[in-house]
Chains A and B, each alone.
Chain A
Amino acid sequence: MKLVTAIVKPFKLEEVKEALRGVGIQGMTVTEVRGFGRQRGHTEVYRGAEYQVDFVPKVKIEVLCDDMEVQGVVDSIMKSARTGKIGDGKIIVTGADQVFRIRTGEAGRDAL
């Protein structure tokens, strides 16, 4: 099992959600996050005064999936979150050793 974590532009959330649903993903965790990568922060200018923004708002999406599904999940995020401009974000795939569903105690793939 894998944990796929994607950091995407906020307005892309709906599209990514739909795309993931399209490849059969049932659930996901979404968090409003702030940070920076190569895009760095930026400066907003209002009437000559500068307002420094160190951390750029992004949305973090976490999806648990079966090893077999990873490629489909990554592809669908890649496709739906892409604008081709700087700041499109990242996709991180990590191994999930164990997964449990709290209510039923189911474990492993059954808990996905």
Chain B
Amino acid sequence: MPSSAETSSAIRELRAERERLKEQPGRSGRDLVEALTAAMDAAVRAVWREVSVPEGRVALVALGGYGRGELSPHSDIDLMVLHAGRGIAPDVGKGLFYELWDAGFVVGHAIRTVRDSLKLAAVNLEAETSFIDARLLAGDEELFEDFRSGALKQTRKRGGKFVEALREEAAERHAREGHASYLLEPNLKDGAGGLRDRSVVGWLAKVFGGGGELSAVEEADLTHAGEMLFRARNQLHYLTDRPSDVLLLGYQEQIAASLGYRGNGRPAVDGFLRDLYAAARVVEFAASSALAERLGELARRRSRRELSPGIALEDGRVRITERVSPAADPSLAMRVFAEAATEGAPVAAETLGWLRREAQAGPAEYAWTAETRRAFFRLLGAGERAAEPLEAMDQAGLLGRFLPEWEGVRCQPQHNVYHRFTVDVHLLTTVAWAAALGASDEDDSLPRDVWRDLADRDRVLLACLLHDIGKGTEEDHSVYGESLARQICKRIGLPDETTDDVVWLVRHHLLLPDTATRRDIEDENLVVETAAGVGDAERLKMLYVLSVADGLATGPAAWSPWKGTLVDDLFTRVMHVFERGEVVGRDASDLLRHRTTELRRALARYPDATVEAHLHKMPRAYFLAFPTEALIRHFALMESDLGPSEVRVHWTPGEAPGVYELIVVARDRPGLFSKAAGAIALNGINVLAAQIFTRADGLALEAFRVEGAHEPEIEADRWGRVEANLARALAGRISLDLRLAEKRDAYERPSKGKREPPRVVVDNRVSDFYTVVEVHATDRVGLLYGITRALADMELDIHAAKVATYADDVVDVFYVRDVDGQKVTDPEHMREIERTVLMRIGD
């Protein structure tokens, strides 16, 4: 046996030939694997003759990829020595194997009889498939023919079992290696749509006969797709100098360049990956439909059920039974996929192949009808069951016929740490996730409950399908996507209202996650602004579902309980703004803009800086709470600063006779509101409602709606007394406690039989930002003063107050926060507030 030192001339020639091939980058992928195979054949035959031509009936057989003639630069070499069983030396072929091993090749080797081979094939799928590709290299032709026909016959006989085993193997392999058709780092061999799937199509054809009508993919397309995969894999082997199959990110740029891709303003690697993904999809589609088709054929159940006109479920596959070209009636092409999604059954390969050919024949765009629309939304709404039909639709080239804009994102890779999929697959996955949210069986699933509450799910589903449609250009994808979405809605023929929602959702699909992670959601202004930006509760719910589905479809790097909790929190807070009925409707932003513009104009004579500071430092809700004229009046009161015990009071007649608007401006301090309420009560005036706005520089504006306690009209000098009393109280010159007690004694208290004892409820559920203190009591002079004095004692900051009087009964509601600006959630603290208020207003 020759040692490695005296390498045979055949191996030297092989090496030289392989080096030569490596230096010829212009070759096609197919050409290269054939040339590599031919070189290997020549060497193997020569060495076989040199070292091991044995006596008797023997054949040297190439198996698997080598048998198919598809050697990539670092592929394994599968060899088998076939013998007739008698009088054969046990080490037959060994010389050949050693020679190859010593030369550095990875050689799979076996020495078997025909019978042993068939036995093995019966229990080992890998061996069974490698035999399908067997090729005679040297030796006894008759023996080889026995083996080959025996193996084929055996496999054919296994029929359905063989196909089922192939399908299981493919499913396992895909689950393990993922999809070559959209993963950022595709496995070119074992991934879904990889070279092994291409072999599956070949094996089925070799065992059971040709594809023809039964194939969803034309032979030429499959050859073309295989060529792309070979080219990429060959380069990957050369680049890594190893039999690598996973196209890692680090290699992609170099391979794209070596394959001649030039980026025209975009990364060259994008063009390469798009071609690669498109090729892998053709292969994946061909393999999955071939497997499904073959299983259906072999099942021989012959079941048939009419699903809708022209469409039937036959042997578990959805088939078009009355072919009308989609060019004439596109709705049929949409309906067949909707039926497939509803049934959870695949579309027959024959139907897919026909649709694919029709799509390629034109026209470039299919018109939408009412029937198409209905089927389309039925398809989108099928949840996880929609995934396969949508992919099949894409692979058959139909999606782009219905939605030409889809071509822009088809196979479009995404270069960031979050996304694992291409844009189009991400979009389809988002649709599936959205519809699947409703099926969650978790105990407390906010997304599920919101999904179930949606008034119109079609809008969300369409927004899910389109939210990233603007990706793949230099422009901001939300902005570009907005215009594409509008175009698409128009093409589909949707009503304006639906279109507006879908377009808005596409434009703002990142609003919730961005706001929740980057802004302080405990800031009420932010939440109210967000509510104003969204416009209404229904849109908010849709946006929330889209955000969750988008996150889940992107993957664990983008969506975690961490982010989910933040988004949930923001969503519920914004929702509560709508539920409280605050002025944040879609027009609120317009109104705000309108009012600030008017205000700027009216205040033109003041210095710009003063006006702008006022506009920026007053809370947003303030500008929505009053008409422009009132805002102008208020500004005059707040324009210049006040001293600590200075106060400005202004009154105007209110909207109803006997009702007045009273404005009090002073520097904010604990108990200010209480003192104002006391000064008002002291002058025989009842408070009906109150709002408090504090400017960021510490100036407070308290707006009271009031009426006379005893007579409908309040004369002018009484307002002056309110101002004087308040100023003196703030300066510590008079005691409101004392004055009010005196006044109270002067009035007979109403005593109408039994009086309900006062009641105080401290509640944290009404508002996200404030603790609400609700007081039920019988009306009396200075009641509001007493309550708010108690709240001030507890160092609570009053944000707003509502006062309602029913005959003698009063219900006062206060929105408060503690000294740290927090809600009061400690039960003991809450109880203390309750007791303090009761102590103040009790008898």
Min distance, Cβ A39 to any Cβ of chain B, angstroms: 9
Known contacts being A51-B444, A85-B821, is A46 close to B450, with CB within 8 Å?
Answer: yes
Q: Is the CB of B572 within 8 A of A44?
A: yes
Q: Is the CB of B446 within 8 A of A85?
A: no
Q: In residues 567-613 of chain B, which contact A (Cβ within 8 Å)?
A: 568-569, 571-572, 575-576
Residues on the B chain within 8 Å of A11, using CB:
517-521
Residues on the A chain within 8 Å of B450, using CB:
46
Q: Which of B44-52, B156-164, B477-485, B558-566 is the interface stretch?
A: B558-566
Residues on the B chain within 8 Å of A86, using CB:
820, 822
Total A-B pairs, Cβ < 8 A: 62
Cα A11 to Cα B519 with chains together (Å): 5
Main secondary structure of the interface of A (DSSP, over half): strand
Main secondary structure of the interface of B (DSSP, over half): helix
Residues on the A chain within 8 Å of B752, using CB:
none
* Chain B CB within 8 A of A53 CB: yes
* Chain A CB within 8 A of B86 CB: no
* Chain B CB within 8 A of A32 CB: yes
Min distance, Cβ A68 to any Cβ of chain B, angstroms: 33
Known contacts being A9-B520, A46-B572, is A51 close to B446, with CB within 8 Å?
Answer: yes
* Chain A CB within 8 A of B453 CB: yes
Min distance, Cβ B417 to any Cβ of chain A, angstroms: 13
Residues on the A chain within 8 Å of B521, using CB:
11
* Chain A CB within 8 A of B522 CB: yes
Q: In residues 515-560 of chain B, which contact A (Cβ within 8 Å)?
A: 517-522, 560
Cα A27 to Cα B450 with chains together (Å): 41
Min distance, Cβ A17 to any Cβ of chain B, angstroms: 12
**One of A10, A34, A49, A85 near B517 (C-beta < 8 A):** A10
* Chain B CB within 8 A of A102 CB: no
* Chain A CB within 8 A of B301 CB: no
Q: Is the CB of B560 within 8 A of A32?
A: yes
**One of B562, B568, B572 near A32 (C-beta < 8 A):** B562
Q: In residues 27-42 of chain A, which contact B (Cβ within 8 Å)?
A: 32-34, 42
Contact bitstring A82-101, B, C-beta under 8 A = 1, else 0: 01111100000000000000
Contact bitstring B432-474, A, C-beta under 8 A = 1, else 0: 0000000000001010011001000000000000000000000
* Chain A CB within 8 A of B765 CB: yes
Cα A85 to Cα B822 with chains together (Å): 7
Q: Is the CB of A53 within 8 A of B569?
A: yes
Residues on the B chain within 8 Å of A51, using CB:
444, 446, 568, 572
Could you pull out 19 A-B pairs where Cβ atoms are within 8 angstroms? Answer: A9-B520, A11-B520, A11-B521, A32-B560, A33-B562, A34-B565, A44-B446, A46-B446, A46-B571, A47-B449, A49-B449, A51-B446, A53-B568, A55-B561, A55-B565, A57-B565, A83-B522, A85-B820, A85-B822
19 more contacts with CB within 8 A, not counting A11-B521, A51-B568, A84-B820, are: A10-B566, A32-B560, A34-B562, A34-B565, A42-B569, A44-B569, A45-B765, A46-B572, A47-B449, A47-B453, A49-B444, A50-B444, A52-B444, A53-B565, A57-B562, A57-B563, A84-B821, A85-B822, A87-B522
